[in-house]
Structures are given as structure tokens and as C-alpha cells.
Amino acid sequence: MRPSWQDYFMQITDVVATRSTCLRRKVGAVIVRDNRILASGYNGPPRGLRHCDETGCLRDKLNIPSGERHELCRGLHAEQNVIIQAAMHGINIQGGTFYITHQPCILCAKMIVNAGIKKVVYRGKYPDALALEIFEEAGVELVCLDG
């Protein structure tokens, strides 16, 4: 039996996540419109900078819990990298669907809303209730595959 488009795109996010060098959580994301992938990304440091598997994790060193103090990290989130990649290549993502291995944080939720994304499909929960509130208020459809 052929997998659904949703299953197919979620499998691709898992493959994209394998590129991540984050020591805490490997995240992959793709933006899709009309069943076509527009851009993909994973969490990691800015272009040309050393990766966390080389430098160590500042958040671990400072015992920062997941979902807090996002600014104390070398890396960009997968969602941020996808939006940046689309912008760099002149790809219009408005009206697209985000497929992500994990629930977006509040920083990414605000970017996703402003990018005009209409739907977010994710699997892994993330401790950020404010992000869910932002999506609800903005009318972005959320699909959590974990139930």
C-alpha cells in the first residue's frame, strides 16, 4: 500500500533531520505546497560556523531546560533554516504546509505565521504552550501526529 502524502513528507523530515549536528535534538522540516517540496532544513549553526558536535552544547553546559532561553544556542532551528533557504532562493512559501519532526517553539511559530503558512504537521511534542496559542490565534491549522 502506498503511504499518504502526509506520511511521505514526514518520512522526508526524518531524513532531513539526520543532517543536524545538534547534540540535544535533531529536527528536520520541509515546506510543501501542492504536494511539492519547496524547501527543507534542519537545526544547526549559521553557514560556515563550527557545529555543536565540535564546540559542545552551551545549553547543556549551563543546564538550560528544553523550551527555555532559545537565545543561548549557536544553532538555528530547522523551521528558521527552511524559511531562510526559501528566501535566499526566491521561493514563495505563502499558503504552504510545514512538516516538522517536532512541535515548533514560540520563536518559530511567530515566523511561520508571518510567512503565511496555513498548516503545520508535526510529531514530537515540545514544552511551549505559547507557541500553540499563537498558532490558534493566527488560524494556522495544527496537526499533531502523536495524538
- Would you please indicate which residues are annotated as catalytic (active-site) residues? 79
108 is an annotated ligand-binding site residue: yes
Residue 89 marked ligand-binding = no
Q: How would you write the chain as a 3-class SS string?
A: CCCCHHHHHHHHHHHHHCCCCCCCCCCEEEEEECCEEEEEEECECCCCCCCHHHHCCHHHHCCCCCCCCCCCCCCECHHHHHHHHHHHCCCCCCCCEEEEEECCCHHHHHHHHHCCCCEEEEEECCCCHHHHHHHHHHCCEEEECCC
Is 77 annotated in a binding site? The answer is yes
Residue numbers belonging to the annotated binding site: 77, 105, 108
Residue numbers belonging to the annotated binding site for Zn(2+): 77, 105, 108
